Amino acid sequence: MNFDGSAQNVCQVGGGIICDHLGNIVAAYAGNLKNHIVTQAKGMALLWGLRFATSIGIKHLEIEGDSQITVEMVSGRSTARWKVDPILRDARMLMANLEGFTIRQIFREGNATADSMVVAGRLQKSLRCWRNANLLPVTTKVILEIEKNQVQG
């Protein structure tokens, strides 16, 4: 699962993508938030992804995001700010219910699919989940195809 969030001016969004071990899409999600700071947007993107993953029965999850502070806060290696703490507390509870997980910070370039879902989130009025890869935003489909070809090639 890759997640990301953004807060620019009055537009705060979060999104992400969940793929299986072969790189096939399981679900993608994006949503527009109101009155959030960037760390809240990234935290909500993480929380939404965990909710989707657990709701469809995923038990093992590799979680990646390009926000070092979000990864550190949810892992307990850094103190969460009061606005973000309830979001990350919920995320930690969901991670504790998984049979296994890893969470790590990756470079922004490695998080392109999640970033493309954040862009799609700007067009959403509320949280939206895509379960069919054919219905994904075009940019996300192109990035997924490029990533799949890089893994296979």
Which residues neighbour 4 within 8 Å (Cβ) at sequence distance 6 or greater? Answer: 14, 15, 16, 42, 45, 65, 66, 67, 111, 114, 115, 117, 118
Residues 16 and 30: their CA atoms lie apart, in Å, by 7
Compare 94 and 109 and report the one with higher pLDDT. 94
How confident is the model over 4-48, as pLDDT tens digits? 999 877 778 999 999 998 888 899 999 988 777 888 899 999 999
- What pTM was estimated for this model as a whole? 0.91
Domains of the chain: 2-147 (3.30.420.10)
The pLDDT value given to residue 152: 66
Say if residue 153's pLDDT is above 70. Answer: no
Residues 81 and 76: their CA atoms lie apart, in Å, by 12
The pLDDT value given to residue 30: 95
Residues 146 and 98: their CA atoms lie apart, in Å, by 30
Task: List for the chain the helix, strand, coil content (%; round to 5).
Answer: 45, 25, 30
Q: With contact defined as beta carbons under 8 Å apart, do 137 and 112 qualify?
A: no
β-strand 60-65 against 25-33: which pairing, if any? unpaired
Which residues neighbour 110 within 8 Å (Cβ) at sequence distance 6 or greater? Answer: 64, 66
Residue 83 — pLDDT band, cuts 50, 70, 90?
Answer: confident
Q: How far is CA 134 from CA 2, 58, 76, 130, 141, in A?
A: 19, 22, 38, 9, 8
3-state secondary structure of 26: strand
